[in-house]
């Protein structure tokens, strides 16, 4: 499979499952309604693991521009392929979000809170403070990239590594996700936010573009810093 197609499909699968669980927890009438933060964090970790299993052999399963940038800085990925990977990830995230909208189609009308609907697609801060919110995304993404790099430096039983990366995602969500919802992935937030803006979602409200730069800029900076820190230490 073409690696760019693999990144598109892998990211689409990631968003379909990850945002699918958020929709299940938040939207009215879902059987998973009110299942809580632990459910969301575990499911996002498993979504990452499944997406890595699906396309890892074809593209390395970056699924995240911050990962692509971090690996390129670390010398593990060619810079001339980075822009294509990131475009594929953004497109895949958009497609995955559109599928979530279709999958939960009857539930949007039954959910009155427009902020809840946006939360299915994109992150938002628990307390809105640009400096603190940006810092949260930078640190959480730096931990992600640093973690991926040191996981990659260890030997695991064949097939176990994607599950370890998934556990890392869940750990970040539980430990560092309470402030901003741990976007830690520019494509994961921006692609679905664009989908939210474009799709005819019943009673959707605005897409909060005033906040949208934080889950893009923060993870981008954090990805670079995580790779640089790993390179400095090891």
Sign of CA dihedral 159, 164, 169, 170: positive
pLDDT at residue 161 is higher than 80? yes
For residue 180, pLDDT over 70 is answered with yes
User: What pLDDT is stored for residue 154 in this prediction?
Assistant: 76
pLDDT of residue 29: 96
State phi, psi for 38 to the nearest 5 degrees.
-60, -45
State percent of the chain over pLDDT 70: 98
Distances in Å between the Cα of 90 and the Cα atoms of 15, 96, 111, 196, 230 are 11, 10, 27, 14, 26
pLDDT at residue 132, as a whole number = 98
Would you say residue 209 has pLDDT above 70?
yes
d(CA 110, CA 75): 49
**Mean pLDDT of the region 143-152:** 93
**pLDDT (0 to 100) of residue 78:** 97
Is residue 80 pLDDT above 80, yes or no? Answer: yes
Q: What is the mean pLDDT of residues 10-20?
A: 98
Taking 90 as the threshold, does the pLDDT of residue 170 lie above it?
A: yes
pLDDT for 82 equals 98
Please say if the pLDDT value at position 47 is more than 90: yes
C-alpha 111/C-alpha 59 separation (Å) is 38
Closest CA relative to residue 219, chosen from 157, 151, 142, 162: 142
Model pLDDT, residue 46: 98
Average pLDDT in the 93-108 region? 98
The mean per-residue pLDDT over the stretch 183-196 comes to: 98
Radius of gyration from C-alpha coordinates of the chain: 17
pLDDT of residue 158: 67
| pLDDT over 90 at 155, yes or no | no
Contacts of 187 (CB under 8 A, 6+ apart): 11, 63, 64, 65, 86, 89, 90, 92, 93
Q: How confident is the model at residue 157 (pLDDT cuts 50, 70, 90)?
A: low
Residue 234 pLDDT: 86
Quote the mean pLDDT of the chain: 96
Q: Is residue 156 over pLDDT 80? A: no
CB neighbours of residue 24 within 10 Å: 21
Q: Is the dihedral of CA 156, 50, 71, 146 positive or negative?
A: negative
């Amino acid at each position: 499979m073409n690696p760019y197609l693999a990144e598109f499909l892998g990211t689409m699968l990631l968003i379909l499952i990850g945002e699918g669980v958020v929709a299940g927890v938040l939207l009215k009438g879902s059987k998973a309604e009110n299942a809580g933060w632990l459910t969301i964090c575990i499911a996002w970790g498993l979504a990452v693991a499944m997406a890595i299993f699906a396309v890892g052999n074809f593209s390395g399963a970056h699924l995240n521009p911050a990962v692509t940038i971090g690996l390129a800085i670390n010398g593990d990925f060619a810079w001339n392929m980075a822009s294509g990977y990131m475009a594929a990830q953004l497109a895949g995230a958009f497609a995955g979000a559109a599928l979530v909208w279709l999958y939960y189609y009857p539930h949007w009308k039954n959910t009155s809170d427009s902020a809840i609907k946006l939360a299915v697609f994109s992150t938002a801060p628990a307390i809105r403070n640009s400096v603190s919110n940006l810092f949260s995304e930078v640190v959480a993404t730096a931990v992600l990239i640093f973690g991926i790099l040191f996981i990659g430096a260890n030997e695991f039983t064949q097939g176990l590594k994607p599950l370890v990366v998934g556990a890392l995602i869940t750990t970040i969500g539980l430990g560092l996700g309470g402030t901003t919802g741990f976007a830690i992935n520019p494509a994961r937030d921006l692609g679905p936010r664009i989908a939210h803006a474009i799709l005819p979602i019943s009673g959707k409200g605005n897409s909060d573009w005033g906040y949208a730069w934080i889950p893009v800029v923060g993870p981008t900076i954090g990805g670079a810093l995580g790779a640089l820190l790993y390179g400095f230490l090891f």
